[in-house]
């Protein structure tokens, strides 16, 4: 068997641990030089493949690759670029195969969410058709935790740990201030369609904190919401509200879309948090504070879940091992064997069943009133945030790695995307 090169790319929004998957892919590949000659990474994701802008990872030291395990973000650059359907844009898929052929690439590792699973699947199919078979493996990544089949997605556990910890800390703060000042704290979290991240905020209930969660899956009922806030403040003197950026009214409008205009008449882009905070203020008069975590939550490698880091690395490693075992058109998955004690193993799912399927919060994970999480949900979430895995610090700040990202010499004509 002649050694082939591998291609690896990061896709979509990055996470605190996607580089841990990259680390798993590259370290494992380096252990099999007889089968994988080199790993080329796409600069800025799949765009790097289309434009033949490849990064030669062999230029990186073992220490630099090891440091990816504790470096957030996408070390090779990511992109938001969804390939159109095979029918609509066969040209791009054919270009991918052309680039793979030119650089003797036999393995395609694509690290992303639902869209990239779809791309990965199509590459595996088309490469067969075009007579240059490429083993295409999708390595799962998404803070949104919305991929099917896998019990959870690498990237999610760390953001869940960050949101639960931050909500807990801020709730301690609000509790201190509530007598004469802030009574309601609103924290906006990511999750445009699925409420998994918001659900993590609900975990602080078991730390005696009154918390109310607004999920994208549950239509916002303003009257019932305000009654619940009032009941919580009456009972506890304060409350914390965790609102998903995707929370919406029954008519489908996001809470964040208020049609507000600034002094110049421009549409004002706001968040859901200030909207919710102002609603509470108007109706109940409570002093509030609000925060929008945005990128802080998904970049917070300093508070990563050890479990998440291990799973991110393991799915990267498993992807390579599965490829070496001859597999293609699959995604390594996390299989939960038991919740308490938490035991898991790596499984696999066919990409045909992964691509373009979104997994939402099951209704039984949300309390009947729609404002909290159930015991079943806590049982699901808690294992995923277990353990700490602090990055090294130097001179007060985390010591992350920035790779050299040396280019591979181009062999093909320019391709316009």
Instruction: Identify the CA nearest to 76 among candidates 96, 62, 56.
Output: 56
Residue from 33, 89, 133, 169 touching its own copies (CB under 8 A): that is: 169
- Strands 211-214, 239-244: pairing is parallel
- Binders of its own copies in range 1-20 (CB under 8 A): 10, 13-14, 16
3-state DSSP helix/strand/coil % of the chain, to nearest 5:
40, 20, 40
Helices 90-102 + 114-129 axis angle, to 10: 70
Stretch that binds its own copies, among 33-41, 144-152, 201-209, 330-338 (CB under 8 A): 201-209
Residue from 49, 197, 300, 318 touching its own copies (CB under 8 A): that is: 300
- Binders of its own copies in range 381-410 (CB under 8 A): 382, 385-388, 390, 393, 395-398, 400, 402
Q: How far is the CB of 131 from its own copies (least distance, A)?
A: 31
Applying CB under 8 A, does 74 fall inside the site for its own copies?
yes
- Binders of its own copies in range 253-282 (CB under 8 A): 258-263, 266, 268-271, 273-275, 277-278, 281-282
Q: Are 133 and 276 in contact (CB under 8 A)?
A: no
Active site residue 208: no
SS3 at position 82? coil
Task: Find out whether 192 is annotated in a ligand binding site.
Answer: yes
Task: Find out whether 13 is annotated in a ligand binding site.
Answer: yes
Task: Find out whether 296 is annotated in a ligand binding site.
Answer: yes
Q: Environment class of residue 34 by beta-carbon count within 10 Å: exposed (0-12), middle (13-18) or buried (19+)?
A: exposed
Task: Find out whether 144 is annotated in a ligand binding site.
Answer: yes
Q: What is the DSSP letter of 365?
A: G
Q: What is the DSSP letter of 409?
A: P
Nearer to its own copies, 49 or 322 (CB): 49
Residue from 283, 284, 299, 346 touching its own copies (CB under 8 A): that is: 299
Full DSSP string of 278-295: HHHHHHH---EEEEE-TH
SS3 at position 57? helix
> Which of the residues 53, 62, 144, 208 is marked catalytic?
144
Nearer to its own copies, 232 or 329 (CB): 232
Task: Find out whether 162 is annotated in a ligand binding site.
Answer: no
Q: Are 306 and 20 in contact (CB under 8 A)?
A: no
Stretch that binds its own copies, among 39-47, 101-109, 226-234, 348-356 (CB under 8 A): 39-47
What separation in angstroms does the CA of 111 have from each of 12, 17, 102?
9, 11, 22
Nearer to its own copies, 104 or 388 (CB): 388
Q: How far is the CB of 148 from its own copies (least distance, A)?
A: 25
- Binders of its own copies in range 81-140 (CB under 8 A): 81
Query: Rounded to an integer, what distance in angstroms lies between the CA atom of residue 148 and that of residue 307?
Result: 19
Q: How far is the CB of 18 from its own copies (least distance, A)?
A: 9
Nearer to its own copies, 133 or 237 (CB): 237
Applying CB under 8 A, does 203 fall inside the site for its own copies?
yes
Q: How many residues does the chain have?
A: 417
Residue from 170, 351, 354, 408 touching its own copies (CB under 8 A): that is: 170
Applying CB under 8 A, does 296 fall inside the site for its own copies?
yes
Residue from 168, 226, 283, 284 touching its own copies (CB under 8 A): that is: 168
Query: Rounded to an integer, what distance in angstroms lies between the CA atom of residue 375 and that of residue 23?
Result: 35
- Answer whether the bond into residue 368 is a cis peptide, omega within 30°: no
Q: Are 280 and 255 in contact (CB under 8 A)?
A: no
Task: Find out whether 191 is annotated in a ligand binding site.
Answer: yes
Instruction: Identify the CA nearest to 111 among candidates 161, 195, 42.
Output: 42
Applying CB under 8 A, does 71 fall inside the site for its own copies?
yes
- Binders of its own copies in range 367-386 (CB under 8 A): 382, 385-386
> Tokens standing for 84?
């159109």
- Binding residues for diphosphate are 13
- Binding residues are 13, 142-144, 190-192, 245, 295-298
Catalytic residue numbers, as ranges = 144
């Amino acid at each position: 068997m002649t050694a082939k090169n591998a291609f690896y790319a990061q896709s979509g929004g990055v996470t605190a641990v996607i580089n841990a998957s990259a680390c798993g892919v590259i370290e494992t590949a380096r252990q099999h030089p007889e089968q994988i000659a080199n790993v080329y990474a796409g600069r800025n994701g799949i765009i790097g493949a289309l434009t033949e802008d490849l990064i030669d990872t062999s230029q990186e030291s073992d220490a630099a690759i090891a440091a990816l395990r504790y470096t957030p973000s996408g070390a090779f650059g990511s992109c938001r670029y969804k390939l159109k359907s095979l029918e609509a844009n066969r040209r791009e898929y054919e270009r991918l195969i052309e680039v793979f052929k030119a650089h003797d690439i036999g393995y395609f590792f694509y690290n992303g969410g639902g869209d990239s699973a779809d791309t990965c699947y199509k590459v595996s199919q088309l490469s067969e058709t075009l007579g240059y078979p490429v083993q295409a493996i999708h390595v799962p990544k998404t803070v949104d935790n919305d991929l099917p089949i896998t019990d959870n997605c690498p990237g999610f556990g760390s953001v869940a740990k960050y949101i639960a910890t931050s909500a807990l800390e801020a709730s301690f703060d609000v509790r201190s201030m509530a007598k004469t000042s802030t009574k309601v704290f609103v924290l906006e979290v990511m999750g445009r369609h699925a409420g998994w991240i918001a659900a993590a905020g609900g975990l602080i209930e078991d730390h005696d904190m009154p918390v109310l969660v607004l999920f994208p899956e549950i239509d916002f009922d303003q009257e019932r919401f305000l009654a619940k806030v009032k009941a919580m403040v009456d009972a506890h003197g304060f409350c914390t509200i965790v609102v998903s950026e995707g929370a919406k009214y029954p008519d489908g409008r996001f809470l964040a879309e208020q049609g507000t205009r600034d002094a110049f008449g421009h549409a004002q882009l706001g968040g859901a948090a200030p909207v919710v905070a102002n609603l509470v203020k108007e109706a109940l008069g409570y002093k509030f504070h609000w925060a929008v975590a945005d990128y802080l939550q998904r970049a917070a490698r300093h508070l990563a879940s050890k479990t998440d880091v291990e799973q991110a690395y393991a799915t990267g490693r498993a992807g390579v091992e599965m490829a070496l075992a001859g597999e293609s058109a699959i995604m390594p998955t996390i299989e939960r064997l038991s919740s308490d004690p938490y035991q898991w193993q790596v499984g696999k799912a066919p990409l045909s069943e992964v691509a373009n399927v979104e997994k939402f919060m099951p209704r039984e994970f949300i309390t009947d009133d729609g404002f909290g999480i159930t015991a079943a949900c806590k049982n699901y979430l808690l294992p995923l945030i277990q353990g700490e895995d602090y990055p090294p610090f130097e001179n007060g700040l985390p010591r992350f790695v920035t790779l050299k990202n040396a280019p591979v010499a181009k062999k093909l004509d320019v391709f316009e995307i």
